[in-house]
Amino acid sequence: MALAQSLLLNGELEAAVSTASLAVEGGGSLRSARFQRYVTVFRTEVSAHAMTPTVVAFNDQVKTLSPAWRTTSSGYQGRQSRGPSSFRSPAMRRRYAAAVRSSLFILKSQAK
């Protein structure tokens, strides 16, 4: 979900939703509050693009996988974690996005 969050911060909506979809598919049976919170926060952040077909498909996927996520698509209403969405300053968001990009670069170079 952190990678999806970073892609979204970089303005890559399609890639972000696709990555989040894979994360939810792989972790759909996870019932941890942290994972559910990450998914809910991500859904909140993509809600501005709620009519985009990929976002609609992602929200439908989340709803079918876990009843706990059916409650709202408007987002997490409680205390924010130290996850990507809690980075209030633009500088922190940029640093986080840069860290994720460098991690992706390392992963891609190792895969070759």
Which pLDDT score is estimated for 37?
Answer: 85
Which pLDDT score is estimated for 71?
Answer: 47
How does residue 16 score in pLDDT terms, banded at 50, 70 and 90?
very high
Q: Helix/strand/coil (H, E, C) string of the chain?
A: CHHHHHHHHCCCHHHHHHHHHHHHHHCCCCCCHHHHHHHHHHHHHHHHHCCCHHHHHHHHHHHHHCHHHCCCCCCCCCCCCCCHHHCCCHHHHHHHHHHHHHHHHHHHHHHC
Which pLDDT score is estimated for 57?
Answer: 92
How does residue 67 score in pLDDT terms, banded at 50, 70 and 90?
low
Which pLDDT score is estimated for 112?
Answer: 65
